[in-house]
Amino acid sequence: MFVQDFKVIDAPYGDVEARLDASSEAFFAEALGSSQVAGERITAKVGPKGWPAALSKTVAIRLGPVRRHGDSTLIAFSWQARGGASLFPRLDADLEVAPFGLDQTVLTIRGAYEAPAGWPGRVADELLLHRIAESTLRAFLDSLCAQLSHSLSIR
């Protein structure tokens, strides 16, 4: 299944790019609040905005290298639920950061996951789980954007 979302922030692309270049691991960890960093892996709770923490899922997030493609910056990442089999599938995605005019930047997440548990999981995904996945991705993107806006405003 494919998921994507985007958000525009009021910060010039050059400033955002410099912040991500400094340390994408630290940036992701800060954006996720109560996360832990161990080597290349970040452990954090993710879930739809407004959900109680008990209903969120702890995931291990692995970041790829920062790459340039034309006038945009890409960071590959994946997350996998901790604690064995789950209705929360592995997500493989890219965070794309690109200029949006002179004083704004657009952040886009595009990702894919495979519905869990064979055909029953695919049916559940079509009925409900895909909307939860989209809401989780949106909450994750909102956290990244809020952290960027905050860190750039205190410079």
Which among 55, 53, 63, 150 is positioned nearest to 109, based on CA atoms?
A: 63
What tens digit of pLDDT does each residue of 68-124 get?
888 999 999 998 877 655 667 788 999 999 999 999 999 999 999 887 777 766 776
Phi, psi of 25 (to 5 degrees): -65, -45
Residues in the chain: 155
Superfamily of domain 2-153: START domain (3.30.530.20)
CA distance 113 to 19: 28
CA distance 46 to 81: 10
Phi, psi of 23 (to 5 degrees): -175, 100
Which range has highest mean pLDDT (53-57, 121-125, 149-153)?
149-153
pLDDT at 146 over 80: yes
What number is the average pLDDT over the span 32-44? Answer: 67
Domain ranges across the chain: 2-153
Are residues 79 and 60 in contact, defined by beta-carbon separation less than 8 angstroms?
A: yes
